[in-house]
């Protein structure tokens, strides 16, 4: 009996350690997100210069570009985990792909919201059907379709396979969005970093560049935190559904 008691204590200790490790990463990402976001606000609104032509409205640039970067990162994660799911058929890969696509869609929505606000001041129009805006809107519709696939009725394996293929094919629009202003000349979207063979863009002031990098880091930490929390939430939903299904089967017997 004492040996069984010791085994139970040992197993409990191992489980407790595993739980501590599983909750440590979200806490780290949470505080990194909070600190970096506060730092980003300081660098954006206080440290960086006000742009001479557009004025204070130019500050949207940091949120606009940071959200676009986070969306691209999210769709890349969906792309990778979709491939892993089709190869390994593990549900955790499907969960990561799905949650990352949801977060990417949110960031893309922010891009499409902040873009027209910035465009109204910079171009005197809310929307222009130029290459980057158009391909970004297409990207939003692609991953909205991905989310709609996940909401359909049916066995999750079929939805997971279909959405995985959709996530892989949909990612092909990401490099098109990025290179759109380089492949098709446009007078609206300026090229800041690199242009043509010489890779000389319009450039950006040093303190503005620092603010941009800080905002990119902040939104990357935020994405990572949301991904971890989203996956944990989805895993809990899966377990609850499994318990409900088992309970229903037990009641029918």
Query: Does some domain include residue 251?
Result: no
Query: Does some domain include residue 77?
Result: yes
Number of domains in the chain: 1
Query: Does some domain include residue 107?
Result: yes
Cβ-based neighbours of 43, under 8 Å, separated by 6 or more? 207, 210, 211, 214, 215
Q: Mind listing the pLDDT tens digit for each residue in 190-222?
A: 666 554 444 454 567 788 889 999 999 999 999
pTM of the model: 0.82
Q: Mind listing the pLDDT tens digit for each residue in 53-104?
A: 777 778 888 999 999 999 999 999 999 999 999 999 999 999 999 999 999 9
- Give, rounded to a whole angstrom, the gap between the first and last alpha carbons of the chain: 35
Write phi, then psi, for 155 (nearest 5 degrees): -70, 140
Query: Does some domain include residue 132?
Result: yes
Query: Does some domain include residue 84?
Result: yes
CB 215 within 8 A of CB 47: no
Dig out the tokens for 55 from the structure.
Answer: 């004025």
Residue 127 structural domain = 55-190+209-234
Cβ-based neighbours of 9, under 8 Å, separated by 6 or more? none
From the list 13, 155, 149, 21, the residue with the least C-alpha distance to 91 is 155
Query: Does some domain include residue 124?
Result: yes
CB 195 within 8 A of CB 182: yes
């Amino acid at each position: 009996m004492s040996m069984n008691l010791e085994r139970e204590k040992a197993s409990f200790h191992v489980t407790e350690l595993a739980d501590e490790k599983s909750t440590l990463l979200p806490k780290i990402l949470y505080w990194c997100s909070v600190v970096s976001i506060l730092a980003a606000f300081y660098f954006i609104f206080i440290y960086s210069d006000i742009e001479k032509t557009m004025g204070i409205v130019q500050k949207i640039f940091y949120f606009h570009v940071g959200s676009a970067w986070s969306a691209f990162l999210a769709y890349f994660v969906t792309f990778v985990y979709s491939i892993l799911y089709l190869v390994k058929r593990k549900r955790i890969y499907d969960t990561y792909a799905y949650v990352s696509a949801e977060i990417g869609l949110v960031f893309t929505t922010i891009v499409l919201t902040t873009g027209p606000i910035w465009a109204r001041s910079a171009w005197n129009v809310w929307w222009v059907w130029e290459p980057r805006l158009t391909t970004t809107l297409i990207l939003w519709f692609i991953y909205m379709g991905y989310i709609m696939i996940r909401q359909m009725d049916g066995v999750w394996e079929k939805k997971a396979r279909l959405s995985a293929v959709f996530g892989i094919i949909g990612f092909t629009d990401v490099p098109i969005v990025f290179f759109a202003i380089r492949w098709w000349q446009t007078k609206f979207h300026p090229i800041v970093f690199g242009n043509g063979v010489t890779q000389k863009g319009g450039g950006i002031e040093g303190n503005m560049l620092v603010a941009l990098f800080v905002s990119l880091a902040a939104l990357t930490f935020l994405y990572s935190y949301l991904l971890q929390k989203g996956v944990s939430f989805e895993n809990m939903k899966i377990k609850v559904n499994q318990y409900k299904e088992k309970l229903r089967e037990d009641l029918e017997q």
